[in-house]
Amino acid sequence: MASNKMGSKPKVTIHHIAEKLNITASTVSRALNDNPRISEVTKKAVLKAAKQLNYQPNNIAAALRNGKSYIIGIIVPTADRAFFASVVRGIEEIANKLHYKVIICQSYDNYEKEVQTIDALLSARVDGIIASIGKNTENFDHYKRPQEKGIPLVLFDRTTDALEVSQVVIDDYLGAYKVVEHLIQQGCRRIAHFTSPKKVSVFKERLRGYMDALRDYEVPFSEELVIKSNLQLEDGRASMEQLLGLAERPDAVFSASDYGAMGALQVLKENGIKVPHEIAVAGFGNEPFTSFSDPALTTVDQFSLTMGRITAELFFEHFKASADKKLVPQKTVLKPELIIRGSTLRNAPPKK
Amino acid sequence: MASNKMGSKPKVTIHHIAEKLNITASTVSRALNDNPRISEVTKKAVLKAAKQLNYQPNNIAAALRNGKSYIIGIIVPTADRAFFASVVRGIEEIANKLHYKVIICQSYDNYEKEVQTIDALLSARVDGIIASIGKNTENFDHYKRPQEKGIPLVLFDRTTDALEVSQVVIDDYLGAYKVVEHLIQQGCRRIAHFTSPKKVSVFKERLRGYMDALRDYEVPFSEELVIKSNLQLEDGRASMEQLLGLAERPDAVFSASDYGAMGALQVLKENGIKVPHEIAVAGFGNEPFTSFSDPALTTVDQFSLTMGRITAELFFEHFKASADKKLVPQKTVLKPELIIRGSTLRNAPPKK
DNA sequence: AGTAAATATGCAATCGGTTGCGCATAATAC
DNA sequence: GTATTATGCGCAACCGATTGCATATTTACT
């Protein structure tokens, strides 16, 4: 009577089902899991009783017993960047197909939070972790913990070679190279680059692509044209202001982030500078808003959905293998695509 | 020896710590939980041993025993809309402060997935659910399940009055009214409206605000100017095309979504129609990209971060109360803010 | 009929912490 | 010196589902 007070939950377990049917919890458990050792008659009875009693399986108990939760944790700097959202979607797609659930955690590019999140996921006993490293993270020790615990880890996009981990990235070098090549072909000769001071490989790779393209096309490199910032909208604005103050202005800006490029674009428009004819602008990432601006922004598409799917597939390979031998860490590199739009197109478009 | 094979995880438990210190697991548990009944000396010893053994608490086990997981589930249609991302952030902020973790689930506006997600969260034994209903959901029975199980549920933004649940929304009616009022003050007389055919209250409210503003200012209402669609970019484009085909074109468009408005804007620009002087355009939601377009888009800000915080606070109120008496469902309505930008500003701005 | 083999279910331990209750030993009181 | 109260920790049950092994009941087959 006391336990059936309103306000408290009924808490139906397999034992209640068992009791009702005069069988044991073992049988109920097996019936619910469609174990071939249980007769069809019993299975149907159990299913029916479960529905009647409004039974809700307790995954916590199962997870404890089985040692696996069928949950994989995803850590991204932020979920509201189209790129990350899309990767997550790709991962989810594959994971769900294999009856895994996914829990999304945001580090907000905050190192402390990233460390805490790893710990929380480990304590939550997720079966694996897929992550993209925060911008401010310079020490990667916390990413060693999952491996120590024997739970698989795969990194994507914002990765590091300091860890022996499988990773999926796009060829940032190639993407950047293509952008700069394109700008040069459009007649640009003083091409500025917005990059990040952070130790994140993607930015270093983009910088490398930028420099190599200049070198290959014998376009002079100028230190003053490379500007480091956090690459957000406001940073892009500030960087552009700085460039406009130069004795010799650039005739193109290639930002390692779309946000930075958008900031530059805004400043240029406010100053009445014509884009792309006076100064061309290109970004990186193909965020949706890049097609909304005027002119629309040339950028690099990262095939985020594909990246998510591939990351998940790679993850599950490791996952399956992790039981016995460890797989050798493997790096998958995807090819990006240059998306040419009005912000860099000086000649009339070929119209195909 | 066999259990210590490389490749398999060590699995350190409180029992190992206990063994090492010649005490019992009870004491270790209490020490780790800073129970006053344990001496400081023992606590320190336990902490030290835990660190040495690289102990990782198993939340699964604790959750099973305690009947609570310290996790709350959030369901949003999609995490990559700035609005939802921002609400989630607000919720997380409050939740983390109270040592709760948050797991984010996306329904992708898919009814089936929404139902499954509720079920998954229930089985995962989350301590509560905070959700925003998918666009295509017309049956809300699955939202009754958490309550039946005694776990608190709070809805935000995309809510319904068909459920006896606490909810946090903005005053969509007021926001829409303000937009239309503003358009009228700018001299618009044929104001079109993009809305959704879905049974989501936000859109119905915005439509109501639109109509009431017209009525109050004695601007004639015309059925042909109200267009229903899914309100995405492409829908906005199609709707705008449709409007341009009208014998008598509108002189303003108020879209219930920023995406729809952006689509309209694109079509207008492609057709060489001047915005705002020939046709003014306004959206709803204040998505970041609205400030990137040319002209920048007039829209309505929804104070998403605040909404998240308030939703979380309301949730925890219910949570604390749910032990004994149930709280009466409560509806919090936030005031939105009209953000006036170039897409509707026909007169030179006052420059303050 | 008798035994092997298949079928269906029960028993009890287990996963890793948590916690009410009880039992020492030590400290304080009268 | 005995009674009283703290203090610190151990014992064992418990949360709910899973599963190896044992048992009971049929069916099959020689």
For the stretch A186-221, pLDDT in tens is 999 999 999 999 878 899 999 999 999 999 999 999
A120 touches strand D (CB under 7 A): no
- What six digits make up the tokens of B133? 């209903």
Chain C, protein-covered positions (CB within 7 A): 7-12, 14-20
CA/C1' separation B38–C26 (Å)? 15
**A253: three-class secondary structure by DSSP:** strand
Q: How confident is the model at residue A10 (pLDDT cuts 50, 70, 90)?
A: low
> Which candidate, B255, B130, B133, B105, places its Cα nearest to that of B200?
B133
**A203: three-class secondary structure by DSSP:** helix
Q: Is the pLDDT of residue B200 over 70?
A: yes
Average pLDDT over residues B284-305: 93
Query: How many angstroms away from the CA of B38 is the closest CA of chain A?
Result: 24
Burial of A54 (0-12, 13-18, 19+ CB in 10 A): exposed
Phi, psi of A191 (to 5 degrees): -100, 120
Q: What is the 3-state secondary structure (H, E, C) of chain B?
A: CHHHCCCCCCCCCHHHHHHHHCCCHHHHHHHHCCCCCCCHHHHHHHHHHHHHHCCCCCHHHHHHHHCCCCEEEEEECCCCCHHHHHHHHHHHHHHHHCCCEEEEEECCCCHHHHHHHHHHHHHCCCCEEEECCCCCCCCCHHHHHHHHCCCCEEEECCCCCCCCCEEEEECHHHHHHHHHHHHHHCCCCCEEEEECCCCCHHHHHHHHHHHHHHHHCCCCCCHHHEEECCCCHHHHHHHHHHHHCCCCCCCEEEECCHHHHHHHHHHHHHCCCCCCCCCEEECCCCCHHHHCCCCCCEEEECCHHHHHHHHHHHHHHHHHHCCCCCCCCCEEEECCEEECCCCCCCCCCCCC
Q: How confident is the model at residue A171 (pLDDT cuts 50, 70, 90)?
A: very high
A29 touches strand D (CB under 7 A): yes
Within this chain, do residues A269 and A193 fall inside the same structural domain, yes or no? yes
pLDDT at A5: 38
Q: How many residues does chain B have?
A: 352
Q: Which nucleotide is nearest to A62 (CA to C1')?
A: D17
Within this chain, do residues B160 and B188 fall inside the same structural domain, yes or no? no
> Which candidate, A283, A302, A289, places its Cα nearest to that of A343?
A283
Within this chain, do residues B249 and B293 fall inside the same structural domain, yes or no? yes
pLDDT at B324: 56
pLDDT digits (tens, 9 = 90+) for A62-84: 999 999 999 999 999 998 888 99
Average pLDDT over residues A165-173: 96
């490398």: which residue's tokens?
Answer: A208
pLDDT at B1: 32
Burial of B42 (0-12, 13-18, 19+ CB in 10 A): middle
Q: How confident is the model at residue A322 (pLDDT cuts 50, 70, 90)?
A: low
**A156: three-class secondary structure by DSSP:** strand
pLDDT at A200: 81
Q: Report CB contact under 8 Å: A63, B58.
A: no
The span from the CA of A119 to the CA of A213, in Å, is 42
Instruction: Among B63, B151, B262, select the one facing A292 at the smallest CB separation.
Output: B262
The answer to whether the CB of A57 falls within 8 A of the CB of B123 is: yes
**A64 chain-B contacts, CB cut-off 8 A:** 58, 60-61, 64
**A288 chain-B contacts, CB cut-off 8 A:** 289
**A51 part of a folded domain:** no
**For A3, which DSSP code?**
G
The span from the CA of A262 to the CA of A259, in Å, is 5
Average pLDDT over residues B64-87: 92
- What six digits make up the tokens of A144? 């060693």
pLDDT at B198: 87
Share of residues in chain A with pLDDT > 70 (%): 94
Strand partners for A300? A338
Within this chain, do residues B245 and B136 fall inside the same structural domain, yes or no? no
Q: Which of A108, A129, A270, A292 to mutate to probe the B interface, most B CBs <10 Å?
A: A292
Written as one letter, the residue type at A229 is S
B13 touches strand C (CB under 7 A): yes
B66 touches strand C (CB under 7 A): yes
**A322 part of a folded domain:** yes
In this structure, are strands A191-195 and B252-255 parallel, antiparallel, or unpaired?
unpaired
Q: Is the pLDDT of residue A98 over 50?
A: yes
Within this chain, do residues A251 and A284 fall inside the same structural domain, yes or no? yes
Within this chain, do residues A206 and A276 fall inside the same structural domain, yes or no? yes
Q: Is the pLDDT of residue A351 over 60?
A: no
**A59 part of a folded domain:** no
Q: Is the pLDDT of residue B42 over 90?
A: yes
Query: How many angstroms away from the CA of A78 is the closest CA of chain B?
Result: 8
CA/C1' separation B103–D9 (Å)? 38
Q: Is the pLDDT of residue B2 over 80?
A: no
B330 touches strand D (CB under 7 A): no
Within this chain, do residues A234 and A164 fall inside the same structural domain, yes or no? no
User: What phi-psi label fits residue B167: left (phi over 0), alpha (psi between -120 and 50 degrees) or beta?
Assistant: beta
Task: Provide the number of structural domains found in chain A.
Answer: 3
Within this chain, do residues B294 and B311 fall inside the same structural domain, yes or no? no
Residues 6+ apart with CB under 8 A from B185: none
**A19: three-class secondary structure by DSSP:** helix
Number of CB atoms found within 10 A of residue B2's CB: 5
pLDDT digits (tens, 9 = 90+) for B263-291: 999 999 999 999 999 999 999 999 989 98
pLDDT at B338: 98
The span from the CA of A224 to the CA of A242, in Å, is 10
pLDDT at B79: 87
Number of CB atoms found within 10 A of residue B112's CB: 11
pLDDT digits (tens, 9 = 90+) for B96-121: 999 999 999 999 999 999 999 999 99
Written as one letter, the residue type at A127 is D
**A61 part of a folded domain:** no
**B294 chain-A contacts, CB cut-off 8 A:** 269, 293-294
Query: How many angstroms away from the CA of B58 is the closest CA of chain A?
Result: 5
Within this chain, do residues B105 and B190 fall inside the same structural domain, yes or no? no
């499988």: which residue's tokens?
Answer: A166
Strand partners for A253? A192, A281
pLDDT at A1: 31
The span from the CA of B62 to the CA of B60, in Å, is 5
Q: Which of A80-89, A317-326, B59-68 has the lowest mean pLDDT?
A: A317-326
**A259 part of a folded domain:** yes
Instruction: Among A60, A103, A322, select the one facing B64 at the smallest CB separation.
Output: A60
Mean pLDDT estimate for chain A: 92
Strand partners for B338? B300
Within this chain, do residues A146 and A185 fall inside the same structural domain, yes or no? no
pLDDT at B54: 94
Number of CB atoms found within 10 A of residue B45's CB: 18
**B120 chain-A contacts, CB cut-off 8 A:** 101
Q: Is the pLDDT of residue B325 over 80?
A: no
> Which candidate, B192, B180, B340, places its Cα nearest to that of B263?
B192
Burial of B304 (0-12, 13-18, 19+ CB in 10 A): buried
pTM: 0.89
Between B3 and A155, the more confident residue is: A155
Q: Report CB contact under 8 Å: A149, B9.
A: yes
CATH number for the domain including B248? 3.40.50.2300
> Which candidate, B218, B27, B73, B49, places its Cα nearest to that of A124?
B73
A42 touches strand C (CB under 7 A): yes
Q: Sheet harboring A280-282: ordered strands across?
A: A226-228, A191-195, A252-255, A280-282
Query: How many angstroms away from the CA of A23 is the closest CA of chain B?
Result: 23
Within this chain, do residues B259 and B111 fall inside the same structural domain, yes or no? no
pLDDT at B288: 87
Helix locations, chain A, DSSP H: 14-21, 25-32, 40-52, 59-66, 82-97, 111-123, 144-148, 172-185, 201-216, 233-244, 258-270, 304-321
CA A50 to centroid of chain Cα atoms: 39
**A52 part of a folded domain:** no
Q: Is the pLDDT of residue B6 over 70?
A: no
The span from the CA of A15 to the CA of A28, in Å, is 8
Within this chain, do residues A249 and A312 fall inside the same structural domain, yes or no? no
Number of CB atoms found within 10 A of residue A272's CB: 7
CA A293 to centroid of chain Cα atoms: 24
Residues 6+ apart with CB under 8 A from B203: B172, B195, B196, B231, B256
B284: containing domain = 172-302
Written as one letter, the residue type at A328 is V
pLDDT at A269: 92
The answer to whether the CB of B309 falls within 8 A of the CB of B130 is: no
Q: Report CB contact under 8 Å: A269, B56.
A: no
Query: How many angstroms away from the CA of B338 is the closest CA of chain A?
Result: 21
Number of CB atoms found within 10 A of residue B189's CB: 13
**A101: three-class secondary structure by DSSP:** strand
The span from the CA of B202 to the CA of B175, in Å, is 11
Average pLDDT over residues A254-269: 96
Between the CA of residue B322 and those of A12, A270, B102, B127, B128, what are the distances in Å? 19, 55, 19, 11, 11
Q: Is the pLDDT of residue A266 over 90?
A: yes
Q: Identify the domain boundary among A282, A302, A322.
A: A302
**A6 part of a folded domain:** no
The span from the CA of B316 to the CA of B154, in Å, is 10
The span from the CA of A257 to the CA of B181, in Å, is 38
The answer to whether the CB of A123 falls within 8 A of the CB of A134 is: no
Q: Which of B49-53, B196-200, B335-339 has the lowest mean pLDDT?
A: B196-200
**A60 part of a folded domain:** no
